[in-house]
């Protein structure tokens, strides 16, 4: 498929047809991800592929439990927001159990250029936080890898959804990876989930902003 066609075909897919995603195709996606640029060539990514439905369901249950725990507390403060958050998890997160494959994207902390130097000369906390959070190169690098993964998947005929909506339950998901899957990688944390499969037809996507709204010539 031509690159422009792949880019234009990419969308968030939440409904999948039955059928497996072969190992060789997954490896092609990961290979593409690994070609992404990263700050100081840190290559701060690792992909954990899950096909076991029981593990997916356990992860979904953990997210649901955390959501219910948070909703219960939110109800004491703002019932409308609590109900919206409850509905959000159901509609935009838990669908991954119906995907043939769930990939957990792990990452590690990247210390940006200038951070240790600012710290050495006694910079204020706001300046340090700005480098670590607002402009974080590690997350930019990880985003490049995930986008490469995503586009290669589309090129191979698959659809994905890039999920960060479950990150509030990350600790519970990492525990499942460790205790049920035997996976633990020192220094790495769960950053995102990717549901993968052959997409069902006619899935809608929100409109994108036109070029004139996202471009400025100076």
Residue 79 gets which letter from DSSP? H
pLDDT reported for residue 1: 85
pTM: 0.94
Strand ranges across the sheet with 101-108: 46-50, 101-108, 188-197, 159-163
Render pLDDT for 110-158 as a digit per residue (tens, 0 to 9): 999 999 999 999 999 999 999 988 999 999 999 999 999 999 999 999 9
Residue 198 has pLDDT above 90, yes or no: yes
Residue 91 has pLDDT above 90, yes or no: no
Q: For the chain, which domains are there?
A: 3-214 (3.40.109.10)
* Ramachandran angles phi, psi of 46, nearest 5°: -155, 140
pLDDT reported for residue 63: 97
Tokens 């000369």 label which residue? 121
Q: Which residues lie closer than 8 Å to 211 by C-beta, 6 or more apart?
A: none
């Amino acid at each position: 498929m031509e690159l422009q066609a792949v880019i234009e075909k990419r969308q968030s897919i939440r409904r999948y047809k039955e059928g497996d995603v072969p190992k060789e195709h997954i490896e092609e996606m990961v290979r593409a991800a690994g070609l992404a640029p990263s700050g100081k060539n840190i290559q701060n990514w690792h992909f954990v592929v899950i096909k076991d439905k029981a593990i997916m369901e356990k992860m979904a249950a953990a997210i649901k439990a955390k959501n219910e725990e948070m909703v219960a507390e939110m109800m004491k403060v703002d019932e409308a927001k609590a109900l919206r958050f409850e509905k959000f998890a159901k509609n935009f997160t838990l669908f991954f159990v119906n995907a043939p494959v769930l990939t957990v994207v792990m990452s590690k902390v990247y210390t940006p250029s200038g951070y240790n130097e600012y710290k050495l000369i006694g910079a204020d906390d706001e300046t340090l936080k700005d480098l670590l959070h607002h402009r974080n190169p590690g997350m930019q690098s990880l985003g490049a890898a995930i986008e490469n993964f995503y586009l290669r998947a589309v090129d191979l005929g698959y659809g994905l959804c890039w999920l960060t909506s479950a990150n509030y339950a990350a600790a519970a998901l990492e525990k499942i990876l460790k205790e049920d899957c035997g996976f633990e990688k020192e220094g790495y944390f769960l950053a995102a989930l990717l549901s993968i499969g052959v997409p069902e037809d006619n899935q809608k996507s929100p409109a994108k902003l036109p070029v004139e709204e996202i471009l400025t010539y100076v």
